[in-house]
């Protein structure tokens, strides 16, 4: 079950955290995987300052595993390579996707994972520049990638698009106006893609993660982490593989009649817990 043998997957924002876990899980299920990010180990001198403090922290702290993940996937016997790609640059996306199609034969699975999540402040303190950045990366970035992959998937008459939403979108996030707005908007985009893709055997679904123990989560305030964990039904954070396994299922033939859903993988944080 859940075999992705013969499929080619592309994961955006795959340098660490959920993206890295998604790429490895897709490979374990049999897919060849291309990992894209603005952060690449061998090219970290290229400017990421405009993407905000979190990208800079990850770069300076060597928390970047894009090429390492591709090496691990090749060790499984799958085809894999890492590419620098900015999801806000449609021309660059088209160039990357064309190369993937040429070298690997197609793109069957797109995981829109690239996102920013370091813009925190109550509404009167939300920065206009960061609001626009979050729209460009979190929402328009996923639109750009879906638009670029669409002709490839239509030609194949098969595709899976996974958009990474968040409980901050479905529940709201205190001090996270831009992040919450973009993540909720992704669900609307997902459902439109599901409607338009069905006639071409393209399924589109959103994952709604809750509190997941990624590198970025570990940078949050410890007291805030405890409060968020306490809201889950399990009283513990999820692991990146919890998200990755759900994605593998939604990309498999076993999920061929599931489209347009926003699947909570959240440990019950949206339940009435006390």
Q: Give the CATH number, domain containing residue 56.
A: 3.40.50.720
Token code pair at residue 46? 């290229």
Is residue 4 a contact partner of residue 29, using CB atoms and an 8 Å limit?
A: yes
**pLDDT for 221:** 84
**pLDDT for 76:** 98
271 inside domain: no
Domain that holds residue 217: 8-265
- Average pLDDT of span 124-151: 96
Residue 179 is among the residues annotated as catalytic for this protein:
yes
Catalytic hit among 65, 130, 179, 257: 179
Average pLDDT score, the chain: 94
pLDDT tens track for 165-216:
999 999 999 999 999 999 999 999 999 999 999 999 999 999 999 999 998 8
Q: HSE, CB side, 13 Å, CA atoms: give it for residue 24.
A: 19
Is residue 249 a contact partner of residue 222, using CB atoms and an 8 Å limit?
A: no
Token code pair at residue 202? 């393209």
* Total count of domains within the chain: 1
- As a whole number of angstroms, the distance between CA 59 and CA 72 comes to 20
- As a whole number of angstroms, the distance between CA 258 and CA 251 comes to 10
- Average pLDDT of span 140-165: 98
Q: Is the pLDDT of residue 47 over 60?
A: no
**pLDDT for 31:** 98
Q: Is the pLDDT of residue 55 over 90?
A: no
**pLDDT for 62:** 75
- Average pLDDT of span 234-254: 98
245 inside domain: yes
- As a whole number of angstroms, the distance between CA 175 and CA 161 comes to 29
183 inside domain: yes
Choice among 47-56, 163-172, 263-272 with the minimum mean pLDDT: 47-56
Length of the chain: 274
Q: What percent of the chain has pLDDT over 70?
A: 94
201 inside domain: yes
- Average pLDDT of span 4-12: 98
The residues pairing with 123 across neighbouring beta strands, listed in sequence order, are: none
**pLDDT for 266:** 97
**pLDDT for 200:** 98
Q: Is 228 exposed, middle or buried (0-12, 13-18, 19+ CB in 10 A)?
A: middle
pLDDT tier, 48 (very low <50, low <70, confident <90, very high otherwise): low
- Average pLDDT of span 78-96: 98
202 inside domain: yes
């Amino acid at each position: 079950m859940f075999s992705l043998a013969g499929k080619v997957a592309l994961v955006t924002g795959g340098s660490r955290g959920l993206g890295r876990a998604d790429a490895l899980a897709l490979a374990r299920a049999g897919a060849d995987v291309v990992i894209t990010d603005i952060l690449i180990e061998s090219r970290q001198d290229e400017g990421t300052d405009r993407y905000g403090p979190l990208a800079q922290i990850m770069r300076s702290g060597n928390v970047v595993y894009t090429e390492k993940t591709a090496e691990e996937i090749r060790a499984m016997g799958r085809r894999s390579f890492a590419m620098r790609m900015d999801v806000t640059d449609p021309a660059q996306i088209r160039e990357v996707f064309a190369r993937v199609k040429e070298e690997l034969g197609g793109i069957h699975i797109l995981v829109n994972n690239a996102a920013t999540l370091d813009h925190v402040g109550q509404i009167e303190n939300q920065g206009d520049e960061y609001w626009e950045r979050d729209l460009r990366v979190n929402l328009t970035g996923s639109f750009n990638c879906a638009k670029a992959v669409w002709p490839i998937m239509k030609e194949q008459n098969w595709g899976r698009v996974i958009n990474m939403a968040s409980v901050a979108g479905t529940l709201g996030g205190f001090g996270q106006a831009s992040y919450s707005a973009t993540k909720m908007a992704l669900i609307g985009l997902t459902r439109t893609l599901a409607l338009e893709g069905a006639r071409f055997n393209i399924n589109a679904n959103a994952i709604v993660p809750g509190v997941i123990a990624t590198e970025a989560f570990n940078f949050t305030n410890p007291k805030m982490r405890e409060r968020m964990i306490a809201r889950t039904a399990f009283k513990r954070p999820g692991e990146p593989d919890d998200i990755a396994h759900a994605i593998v299922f939604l990309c498999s033939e076993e999920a061929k009649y599931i489209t347009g859903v926003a699947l909570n993988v959240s440990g019950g944080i949206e339940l009435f817990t006390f």
